[in-house]
Amino acid sequence: MILPPFWRRGTEVVAGWRDAMDTLSPEVKQRIVALVCDGHNGLVSEARWQGWILQRCHFHLLKRIQSRRSRFRIARHKQEADTIFSHARRVLESPLGTDLVPSLNTLEEIGWTSSSPEIRKVLSGFVRNFEDYRAYLKHPQLRLPATNNTAESFNQRVQELVHRARGFRSVTSLKHWIEALIKHKKKIKCNGARQPN
C-alpha cells in the first residue's frame, strides 16, 4: 500500500515524523508491524513508541563508512577500511546463533581509536544498535528487506518528475503530481530478506 504524500516545510526532524505518523488512520497503523528506515531519530523513536519491529538500512550504514574509509587500493586508510567492512558485514549478515562478540569488540575498539570523528560516531552507534540491523534475520516470516532502497527509489522518481517539470507553481500542484505518480505506479514491491546492498 502506498500512502498519500505528507508535506511539511523545513528539514527532517523528530516532530515532523511524529506529525506524519499522526496522519495515518488507525486501520493503517494496525497493519504496520515493522519499519525499515535509515536510522533517523524520528523514525527510530516512532518505531519504538509504536512497538514496531525496527530494521535499520544496511546500505546507509555501509555508505557512511565508505565515505570516510575507502577500500580502494590507494586509499590512505585501506587496512582500517578492510577491517571495518569485514566485521560490519559479519555482524549484518551472519545467521542467528553466530558469535558476534569478537567482531563487535573489534568495531568498538576501532570506534574508540580511529582518527575520523565520523567513523567513531558511526561505529559506536552501530555497535550500540547492531540488533536493529538484524531484524530481517530474527523475523524471516516478514521477509523484511535489509535496506530501504525501495523507498529511496520512489523518492528518486519524484525527484526526476520535479526535474522534468522544472519545478511546480505551488505545493498543491506538486502534491497532485506525486499522487498521480503513485496512482500510475500502483504498488511498490520490496525484495525481502536478501535484498542486495
**1-48 pLDDT, tens per residue?**
677 778 788 888 999 999 999 999 999 999 999 999 999 999 999 999
pLDDT at 127 over 90: yes
pLDDT on residue 97: 93
| Residue 78 banded pLDDT, cuts 50, 70, 90 | confident
Q: Does residue 106 sit within a domain?
A: yes
Q: Does residue 184 sit within a domain?
A: no
CB 87 within 8 A of CB 106: yes
pLDDT at 147 over 70: yes
- Average pLDDT on 86-92 reads 96
Q: Does residue 5 sit within a domain?
A: no
Q: Does residue 147 sit within a domain?
A: no
Print the domain residue range for 112.
63-131
Q: Does residue 76 sit within a domain?
A: yes
Element of type H or E holding 53: strand 53-56
pLDDT at 75 over 80: no
Measured CA to CA, the distance from residue 84 to residue 103 in angstroms comes to 9
pLDDT at 107 over 90: yes
pLDDT at 131 over 50: yes
Q: Does residue 103 sit within a domain?
A: yes
Angle of CA points 140, 141, 147, to nearest 5°: 50
**156-192 pLDDT, tens per residue?**
787 887 778 777 778 788 787 777 877 777 666 666 6
Q: Does residue 168 sit within a domain?
A: no
The beta-carbon contacts of 79-83 under 8 Å, at least 24 apart in sequence, are 80/110, 80/114, 83/110
CB 191 within 8 A of CB 52: no
| Residues present in the chain in total | 197
Q: Does residue 46 sit within a domain?
A: no
What is the domain count for the chain?
Answer: 1
Collapsing DSSP to helix, strand or coil, 56 comes out as strand
pLDDT on residue 191: 67
Collapsing DSSP to helix, strand or coil, 123 comes out as helix
